[in-house]
């Protein structure tokens, strides 16, 4: 289970977060008297992310290094004992590579094999800031507010949605998807520990609960720096002379 978690933790930014990031041309700002909802322009990002998995199969914690360079380059490194990388992932435009040094395996594929089409920038914006909500096809949209937050409720795809947006930071701090029949939470995304960087804010912690997967994954960010110069050679894997190569589709099938 731990080995599988090591791999899936780097994929959750893509396969998992696509489930929790909702794109729409109709933003909450348009519904709230044109309340401005600025987002930081992420040109580059680097730092550490501690990932914790809580599930029926056990609890696991690991740390991974993240590097991002706009518009569509990303590198993730899972750190093992003594900080040595045990899994490395590099995305460059549409190409996806995952290298496991201890097994000498290189996995290659296209990002569209990970799920719906996306850009890394949109994914990071949605995951970190909760920039958008799927309101375009929503029904029975209702907005209430108090001194600190807006609360939006709506129906979409036969499910009840609830979202809370902090007025000061414009970060979506909580988003729940509930069953209409049982009122049970199917998915919950929370953002906490909000930190100000320049004129913008980001959460120090993001947690994702999934009822169907019977697990909760928590991401705790530290040492993040935005829009600093990054060596572009980081987005090229340094591979040994000999290694085993696998297609991404075959590798993912083996994790089922």
- Write out pLDDT tens, residues 60-69: 888 888 899 9
Sign of torsion over alpha carbons 236, 237, 239, 243: negative
- Write out pLDDT tens, residues 67-83: 999 888 989 888 766 56
- Give me the pLDDT at residue 120, please: 73
- Write out pLDDT tens, residues 89-142: 898 888 888 898 888 889 888 877 766 656 676 667 666 666 566 666 667 888
Query: Whole-prediction pTM value?
Result: 0.75
CATH of the domain at 101: 2.50.20.10
Buried b (16+ CB within 10 A) or exposed e, 108-126: ebebeebeeebebbbbbbb
Calculate mean pLDDT across residues 208-223.
87
Residues 87 and 189: their CA atoms lie apart, in Å, by 26
Calculate mean pLDDT across residues 189-193.
91
Cα atoms in the 13 Å half-sphere on the side-chain side of 8? 18
Which ranges constitute the DSSP H helices of 88-220?
120-124
Domain hosting residue 243, numbered range: 2-254
> Which pair of structure tokens corresponds to residue 36?
């401005």
Q: Which residues pair with 225 in a beta bridge?
A: 46
Phi/psi of residue 118, each to 5°? -155, 165
- Give me the pLDDT at residue 247, please: 85
- Give me the pLDDT at residue 26, please: 39
Task: Note every long-range contact of 172-181, with CB atoms under 8 Å and residues 24 or more positions apart, other chains counting.
Answer: 172/28, 172/129, 172/130, 172/131, 172/133, 173/130, 173/149, 173/203, 175/20, 175/130, 175/133, 180/155
Number of domains in the chain: 1
| pLDDT reading at 23 higher than 50 | no
Residues 6 or more apart in contact with residue 30 via CB below 8 angstroms: none
Decide which of 17 and 98 is more confident. Answer: 98
């Amino acid at each position: 289970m731990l080995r599988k978690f090591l791999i899936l933790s780097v994929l959750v930014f893509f396969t998992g977060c696509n489930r929790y990031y909702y794109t729409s041309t109709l933003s909450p700002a348009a519904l709230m008297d044109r309340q401005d909802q600025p987002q930081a322009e992420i040109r580059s990002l680097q730092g550490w992310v501690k990932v914790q998995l809580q599930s029926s199969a056990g609890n696991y914690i690991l740390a991974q290094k993240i590097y991002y360079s706009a518009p569509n380059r990303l590198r993730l490194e899972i750190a093992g004992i003594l900080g040595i990388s045990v899994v490395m992932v590099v995305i460059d435009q549409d190409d996806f590579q995952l290298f496991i040094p201890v097994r000498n395996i290189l996995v290659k594929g296209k990002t569209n094999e990970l799920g719906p089409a996306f850009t890394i920038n949109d994914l990071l914006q949605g995951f970190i800031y909760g920039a958008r909500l799927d309101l375009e096809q929503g029904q029975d949209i209702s907005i209430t507010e108090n001194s600190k937050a807006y609360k939006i409720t709506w129906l979409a795809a036969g499910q009840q949605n609830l979202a809370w947006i902090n007025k000061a930071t414009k970060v979506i701090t909580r988003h729940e998807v509930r069953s209409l029949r049982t009122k049970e939470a199917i998915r919950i995304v929370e953002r906490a520990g909000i930190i100000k960087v320049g004129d913008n804010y980001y959460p120090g912690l993001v947690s994702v609960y999934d009822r169907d997967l019977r697990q909760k994954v928590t991401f705790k960010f530290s040492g993040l720096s935005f829009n600093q110069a990054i060596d572009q050679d980081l987005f090229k894997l340094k591979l040994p002379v000999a290694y085993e190569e696998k297609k991404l589709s075959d590798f993912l099938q083996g994790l089922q």
